[in-house]
Structure 1
Protein backbone atom coordinates (compact mmCIF):
# COMPACT_ATOMS: atom_id res chain seq x y z
CA UNK A 1 0.00 0.00 0.00
CA UNK A 2 2.79 2.46 0.83
CA UNK A 3 4.41 1.80 -2.51
CA UNK A 4 1.15 2.46 -4.37
CA UNK A 5 0.76 5.83 -2.63
CA UNK A 6 4.36 6.73 -3.41
CA UNK A 7 3.83 5.87 -7.09
CA UNK A 8 0.72 8.04 -7.15
CA UNK A 9 2.73 10.88 -5.68
CA UNK A 10 5.45 10.29 -8.28
CA UNK A 11 2.86 10.42 -11.05
CA UNK A 12 1.60 13.72 -9.68
CA UNK A 13 5.16 15.07 -9.60
CA UNK A 14 5.53 14.10 -13.26
CA UNK A 15 2.52 16.20 -14.19
CA UNK A 16 4.32 19.24 -12.84
CA UNK A 17 6.90 19.00 -15.61
CA UNK A 18 4.58 17.81 -18.34
CA UNK A 19 4.23 20.32 -21.18
CA UNK A 20 0.69 19.20 -21.95
CA UNK A 21 -0.42 20.59 -18.56
CA UNK A 22 0.65 24.07 -19.66
CA UNK A 23 -2.45 26.06 -18.78
CA UNK A 24 -3.86 23.86 -16.01
CA UNK A 25 -3.68 24.72 -12.36
CA UNK A 26 -2.02 21.95 -10.36
CA UNK A 27 -3.19 22.10 -6.75
CA UNK A 28 -2.70 20.07 -3.57
CA UNK A 29 -4.93 20.40 -0.54
CA UNK A 30 -3.48 19.02 2.67
CA UNK A 31 -6.14 18.15 5.26
CA UNK A 32 -6.11 16.59 8.73
CA UNK A 33 -8.53 13.70 8.66
CA UNK A 34 -12.24 14.10 8.17
CA UNK A 35 -12.72 16.92 10.64
CA UNK A 36 -15.44 19.52 10.00
CA UNK A 37 -12.71 22.03 9.12
CA UNK A 38 -11.25 19.64 6.52
CA UNK A 39 -14.65 18.94 5.00
CA UNK A 40 -15.43 22.66 4.90
CA UNK A 41 -12.12 23.43 3.17
CA UNK A 42 -12.76 20.75 0.53
CA UNK A 43 -16.30 21.99 -0.15
CA UNK A 44 -15.26 25.67 -0.29
CA UNK A 45 -12.32 24.95 -2.58
CA UNK A 46 -14.25 22.71 -4.96
CA UNK A 47 -16.99 25.33 -5.28
CA UNK A 48 -14.45 28.08 -5.98
CA UNK A 49 -12.58 25.97 -8.55
CA UNK A 50 -15.72 24.86 -10.38
CA UNK A 51 -16.98 28.45 -10.56
CA UNK A 52 -13.68 29.93 -11.75
CA UNK A 53 -11.50 27.19 -13.29
CA UNK A 54 -13.88 24.54 -14.59
CA UNK A 55 -11.85 21.88 -16.49
CA UNK A 56 -8.65 23.89 -15.96
CA UNK A 57 -7.35 22.37 -12.76
CA UNK A 58 -6.15 19.18 -11.13
CA UNK A 59 -6.69 18.87 -7.39
CA UNK A 60 -5.09 16.26 -5.18
CA UNK A 61 -6.35 15.97 -1.61
CA UNK A 62 -3.80 14.58 0.84
CA UNK A 63 -4.71 13.52 4.38
CA UNK A 64 -1.63 14.26 6.48
CA UNK A 65 -2.75 11.71 9.09
CA UNK A 66 -2.66 8.92 6.51
CA UNK A 67 0.35 10.22 4.56
CA UNK A 68 2.54 12.23 6.98
CA UNK A 69 5.62 12.01 4.76
CA UNK A 70 3.88 14.19 2.15
CA UNK A 71 3.18 16.83 4.80
CA UNK A 72 6.84 16.85 5.72
CA UNK A 73 7.95 17.07 2.10
CA UNK A 74 5.47 19.91 1.45
CA UNK A 75 6.55 21.67 4.66
CA UNK A 76 2.98 21.71 5.93
CA UNK A 77 2.72 23.13 9.45
CA UNK A 78 -1.07 23.64 9.57
CA UNK A 79 -4.05 22.02 7.94
CA UNK A 80 -5.94 22.62 5.79
CA UNK A 81 -3.27 24.05 3.50
CA UNK A 82 -3.62 24.54 -0.24
CA UNK A 83 -0.51 24.61 -2.40
CA UNK A 84 -0.65 25.89 -5.97
CA UNK A 85 2.18 24.11 -7.76
CA UNK A 86 1.43 25.37 -11.27
CA UNK A 87 1.41 27.84 -12.80
CA UNK A 88 4.45 29.20 -11.01
CA UNK A 89 5.13 30.80 -8.58
CA UNK A 90 4.16 28.35 -5.88
CA UNK A 91 1.53 29.77 -3.51
CA UNK A 92 0.26 28.51 -0.14
CA UNK A 93 -3.08 29.21 1.51
CA UNK A 94 -3.95 28.12 5.05
CA UNK A 95 -7.43 27.79 6.50
CA UNK A 96 -10.89 26.63 5.53
CA UNK A 97 -10.71 28.23 2.04
CA UNK A 98 -13.68 30.48 2.80
CA UNK A 99 -11.88 33.73 1.87
CA UNK A 100 -12.55 33.34 -1.83
CA UNK A 101 -11.24 36.80 -2.75
CA UNK A 102 -7.86 36.08 -1.18
CA UNK A 103 -7.59 32.73 -2.97
CA UNK A 104 -8.68 34.19 -6.33
CA UNK A 105 -6.03 36.91 -5.96
CA UNK A 106 -3.37 34.42 -4.88
CA UNK A 107 -4.14 32.08 -7.76
CA UNK A 108 -3.99 35.08 -10.13
CA UNK A 109 -7.49 34.31 -11.37
CA UNK A 110 -8.77 37.78 -10.53
CA UNK A 111 -7.07 41.11 -10.07
CA UNK A 112 -7.55 43.28 -7.00
CA UNK A 113 -9.59 45.86 -8.93
CA UNK A 114 -11.94 43.12 -10.20
CA UNK A 115 -12.76 42.06 -6.66
CA UNK A 116 -13.27 45.60 -5.38
CA UNK A 117 -15.80 46.23 -8.17
CA UNK A 118 -17.85 43.10 -7.33
Structure 2
Protein backbone atom coordinates (compact mmCIF):
# COMPACT_ATOMS: atom_id res chain seq x y z
CA UNK A 1 0.00 0.00 0.00
CA UNK A 2 1.43 3.37 -0.91
CA UNK A 3 0.79 6.78 0.51
CA UNK A 4 1.44 8.38 3.85
CA UNK A 5 0.77 6.84 7.21
CA UNK A 6 -1.66 8.54 9.51
CA UNK A 7 1.15 9.53 11.87
CA UNK A 8 3.01 11.41 9.13
CA UNK A 9 2.06 15.04 8.88
CA UNK A 10 1.92 16.90 5.60
CA UNK A 11 3.32 20.42 5.65
CA UNK A 12 0.86 23.20 4.89
CA UNK A 13 3.33 24.74 2.44
CA UNK A 14 5.50 22.83 0.02
CA UNK A 15 8.09 24.40 -2.29
CA UNK A 16 10.53 23.21 -4.93
CA UNK A 17 13.52 25.50 -5.48
CA UNK A 18 15.59 25.11 -8.64
CA UNK A 19 19.15 26.45 -8.49
CA UNK A 20 22.22 26.19 -10.71
CA UNK A 21 25.18 25.10 -8.63
CA UNK A 22 26.10 26.53 -5.25
CA UNK A 23 26.40 30.16 -6.32
CA UNK A 24 25.80 33.14 -4.02
CA UNK A 25 22.47 33.78 -5.80
CA UNK A 26 21.41 30.15 -5.28
CA UNK A 27 22.39 30.30 -1.62
CA UNK A 28 20.49 33.59 -1.18
CA UNK A 29 17.33 32.14 -2.75
CA UNK A 30 17.41 29.08 -0.49
CA UNK A 31 18.19 31.12 2.61
CA UNK A 32 15.43 33.65 1.88
CA UNK A 33 12.84 30.94 1.17
CA UNK A 34 13.68 29.09 4.38
CA UNK A 35 13.53 32.37 6.30
CA UNK A 36 10.07 33.12 4.91
CA UNK A 37 8.91 29.59 5.77
CA UNK A 38 10.23 29.79 9.31
CA UNK A 39 8.86 33.28 9.95
CA UNK A 40 5.46 33.09 8.26
CA UNK A 41 4.42 29.46 8.78
CA UNK A 42 6.09 28.59 12.09
CA UNK A 43 8.06 25.96 10.19
CA UNK A 44 5.01 24.22 8.70
CA UNK A 45 6.80 24.16 5.38
CA UNK A 46 8.79 21.77 3.17
CA UNK A 47 11.54 22.97 0.81
CA UNK A 48 13.07 20.69 -1.81
CA UNK A 49 16.20 22.12 -3.46
CA UNK A 50 17.12 20.79 -6.90
CA UNK A 51 20.38 21.65 -8.65
CA UNK A 52 19.75 21.87 -12.40
CA UNK A 53 23.37 20.88 -13.09
CA UNK A 54 22.91 17.58 -11.26
CA UNK A 55 19.30 16.94 -12.28
CA UNK A 56 18.61 18.62 -15.65
CA UNK A 57 15.77 16.18 -16.35
CA UNK A 58 13.86 17.46 -13.29
CA UNK A 59 14.25 21.04 -14.50
CA UNK A 60 13.07 20.08 -17.97
CA UNK A 61 10.09 18.25 -16.50
CA UNK A 62 9.02 21.38 -14.61
CA UNK A 63 9.75 23.66 -17.60
CA UNK A 64 12.40 25.67 -15.74
CA UNK A 65 13.82 28.40 -17.99
CA UNK A 66 15.78 30.45 -15.42
CA UNK A 67 17.24 29.95 -11.97
CA UNK A 68 16.69 30.38 -9.16
CA UNK A 69 13.01 29.49 -9.59
CA UNK A 70 10.66 28.63 -6.72
CA UNK A 71 7.53 26.58 -7.35
CA UNK A 72 4.88 26.55 -4.65
CA UNK A 73 3.42 23.06 -4.83
CA UNK A 74 1.01 23.35 -1.91
CA UNK A 75 -1.39 24.78 -1.15
CA UNK A 76 -2.99 25.02 -4.59
CA UNK A 77 -2.79 26.76 -6.98
CA UNK A 78 0.79 26.17 -8.05
CA UNK A 79 2.77 29.43 -8.17
CA UNK A 80 6.23 30.29 -9.57
CA UNK A 81 8.67 33.04 -8.69
CA UNK A 82 12.00 33.63 -10.42
CA UNK A 83 14.83 35.29 -8.51
CA UNK A 84 16.67 35.19 -5.20
CA UNK A 85 13.66 36.40 -3.15
CA UNK A 86 15.73 39.25 -1.70
CA UNK A 87 12.65 41.48 -1.48
CA UNK A 88 11.09 39.39 1.28
CA UNK A 89 7.80 41.27 1.42
CA UNK A 90 7.17 40.99 -2.29
CA UNK A 91 8.33 37.35 -2.36
CA UNK A 92 5.97 36.49 0.51
CA UNK A 93 3.05 38.09 -1.31
CA UNK A 94 3.81 36.41 -4.65
CA UNK A 95 4.18 33.02 -2.97
CA UNK A 96 0.89 33.46 -1.12
CA UNK A 97 2.15 33.29 2.44
CA UNK A 98 -0.38 34.17 5.15
CA UNK A 99 -0.31 37.72 6.49
CA UNK A 100 1.83 38.98 3.62
CA UNK A 101 1.06 42.47 2.37
CA UNK A 102 -1.21 42.67 -0.68
CA UNK A 103 0.48 43.41 -3.99
CA UNK A 104 -0.41 46.59 -5.85
CA UNK A 105 -2.75 46.29 -8.82
CA UNK A 106 -1.08 46.30 -12.21
Q: What interval of TM-score do these two structures reach, taking the shorter chain for normalisation?
A: 0.7 to 0.9
Residue of structure 2 equivalent to 1:86: 74
**TM-score normalised by length of structure 2:** 0.80
Deviation of 1:111 after TM superposition, in Å, equals 4.1
Query: Structure 2 CA distance, aligned partners of 1:43 and 1:55?
Result: 14
1:32 to 17, 20, 24: 20
Query: 2:20·2:67 contact (CA, 8 Å) conserved in 1?
Result: yes
**TM-score normalised by length of structure 1:** 0.72
Query: Structure 1 CA distance, aligned partners of 2:68 and 2:38?
Result: 19
Residue of structure 2 equivalent to 1:112: 102
Residues 1:66 and 2:51 aligned together: no
Answer 1 or 2: which has greater helix percent. 1
Structure 1 residue runs without a partner (length 5+): 1-13, 114-118
Query: Structure 1 CA distance, aligned partners of 2:45 and 2:61?
Result: 22
Deviation of 1:106 after TM superposition, in Å, equals 2.1
Structure 2 residue runs without a partner (length 5+): none
Residues 1:46 and 2:39 aligned together: no
Aligned Cα root-mean-square deviation (Å): 1.9
